[in-house]
Amino acid sequence: MTTITSRKRRAIMVYVADRPGVLNKISMLIRRKMYNVESITACAARQSGYSRISLTLHEDNNDNLQQVILQIEKMTEVISARELDINESFWREVALVKFEASQIQFEQFNKKYSFETLDQQNHGVHIVQLAGISKMIDDFLLDLGDDKIIEVARSGFTALDR
């Protein structure tokens, strides 16, 4: 009998000079290390000319993760890179979901998940936005069921220290 264990989700926050190709260089480094990146989000940092990148991946070994961070920090465009402690930071994602539901079902889902309605189309087709922890989004999708879901777009994680 084999036991399947889930690997620990980790987030790395990277500040970089806002130059073409930086995100590609970072993702190629991680690929060479044989990690599967779960999500990458990037946005402008508060300081002009810099960007903030949030990477999430699965890794149980602290030494392996620290090695990746050290290699990222060696890149000339990187200002800083560090792991975000899951207990000392906020991790969120956004999902846009198009689904079919009666008006009563729709109201029940909205009461339970407090989503923002973006559009309601004919024949009970709804487009909503959910923002929060990934478990809440996963739970919403499970509650809906595959037969009701038309399309889903998820942003991936972004994270911020306390």
Q: Which of 58, 76, 47, 77 is nearest to 157 (CA)?
A: 58
CATH code at 9-84: 3.30.70.260
Q: Which pLDDT does position 6 carry in this prediction?
A: 57
Do 89-161 and 9-84 fall under one CATH topology? yes
CA dist., res. 19 & res. 50, Å (int): 8
The answer to whether residue 4 scores a pLDDT higher than 50 is: no
**Cβ pair 32, 71 in contact under 8 A:** no
Choice between 137 and 159, residue whose per-residue pLDDT is larger? 137
The answer to whether residue 2 scores a pLDDT higher than 60 is: no
Q: Which pLDDT does position 112 carry in this prediction?
A: 96
State which H helix or E strand residue 134 sits in: helix 134-144
What pLDDT digit, counting tens, does each position of 40-86 carry? Answer: 889 999 999 999 999 888 888 888 889 889 999 999 999 999 999 87
CA dist., res. 103 & res. 125, Å (int): 10
pLDDT band at 116 (very low <50, low <70, confident <90, very high): very high
Return the domain boundaries, the chain.
9-84, 89-161
Question: 89-161 falls under which CATH superfamily?
Answer: ACT-like. Chain A, domain 2 (3.30.70.1150)
The answer to whether residue 102 scores a pLDDT higher than 90 is: yes
